Amino acid sequence: MSWDPALYERGHSFVWKLGADLIGLLAPQPGERILDVGCGTGQLTSQIAEAGADVTGIDASADMVAQARSNFAALTFEQADITAYRTDRTFDAVFSNAALHWVLDAEAAVASISGALRPGGRLVAEFGGKGNVGLVLGAVQELAGIANPWYFPSVGEYATLLERQCLEVAQAFLFNRPTRTEDGESGLRDWMRMFGRDWPRDETFLRAMEEGLRARLYRDGAWYIDYRRIRVVAIKL
């Protein structure tokens, strides 16, 4: 999948602004080795580094990694697919914000995360959970017959997966977080352009999406995407 880092940084800063809260849960300590999975253009990796941790950001997209390196030249970024990620030096923590729903082979991703953690190390992650962007997906299905392309698990499903890979679940919950897009009236179509890669782009489709969703997702001059997050903290046994 190809990413446009400039479009991502220009209009979607809510992704890392909303993820800043997750760093509080991670509570990075000076000297800790931390792996940031799906680091994008590196803003949260940099915040983890500011706490004094020794952080490595990985992302499957070469373009995102190039932008992250350009943004934060002193930090370490690698292009890597989490499903195939292996390391000789384990980490004290694995962190991931708004990335794991892109990885359809979730079992392989969790196996790699588990393999990257030292015993007692922690996973702190947030991504799209069951029902995420349900209204948007319902409209895309109805208008274009396209199914959900992402992995949005329930708490039960994901906890089972973590436990199968030697990760003990300390916290796991789902919560609604309607998310305000930037750019006012064009916010929904910008969001679809950025994230709904294989969705139609023609004006007729975009208008029909806006008409179908306006009553539920547009207010006070902005589109609010119906995000529903799953947040987990798990400890490597």
Chain contacts with ligand BEZ (rule: CB under 6 A): 98, 101, 128, 132-133, 150, 195, 227
Comparison of 53 and 136: residue with beta carbon closer to ligand BEZ: 136
d(CA 188, CA 194): 10
Alpha helices in the chain (DSSP H): 5-11, 14-26, 43-50, 62-71, 106-116, 134-144, 155-164, 187-195, 203-217
Q: Measured from the CB of residue 21, what is the shortest distance to ligand BEZ in angstroms?
A: 14
Q: Measured from the CB of residue 11, what is the shortest distance to ligand BEZ in angstroms?
A: 13
Length of the chain: 237
Q: Measured from the CB of residue 48, what is the shortest distance to ligand BEZ in angstroms?
A: 19
Comparison of 150 and 218: residue with beta carbon closer to ligand BEZ: 150
Q: Measured from the CB of residue 211, what is the shortest distance to ligand BEZ in angstroms?
A: 21
Q: Measured from the CB of residue 225, what is the shortest distance to ligand BEZ in angstroms?
A: 8
d(CA 119, CA 98): 25
Comparison of 3 and 91: residue with beta carbon closer to ligand BEZ: 3
Comparison of 163 and 199: residue with beta carbon closer to ligand BEZ: 199
Q: Comparing C-alpha atoms, which of 194, 227, 232, 229 is closest to residue 64?
A: 194
Q: Which residue is nearest to ligand BEZ (CB)?
A: 128
Torsion, Cα of 202, 147, 99, 6 (10° steps): -10
Comparison of 101 and 236: residue with beta carbon closer to ligand BEZ: 101
Strand partners, 56: 35, 76
Q: Comparing C-alpha atoms, which of 54, 230, 72 is closest to residue 151?
A: 230
CA dihedral (11, 210, 145, 108) positive or negative: positive
Comparison of 121 and 128: residue with beta carbon closer to ligand BEZ: 128
CB–CB of 83/61 below 8 Å? Answer: no
Q: Measured from the CB of residue 227, what is the shortest distance to ligand BEZ in angstroms?
A: 5
CB–CB of 219/188 below 8 Å? Answer: no
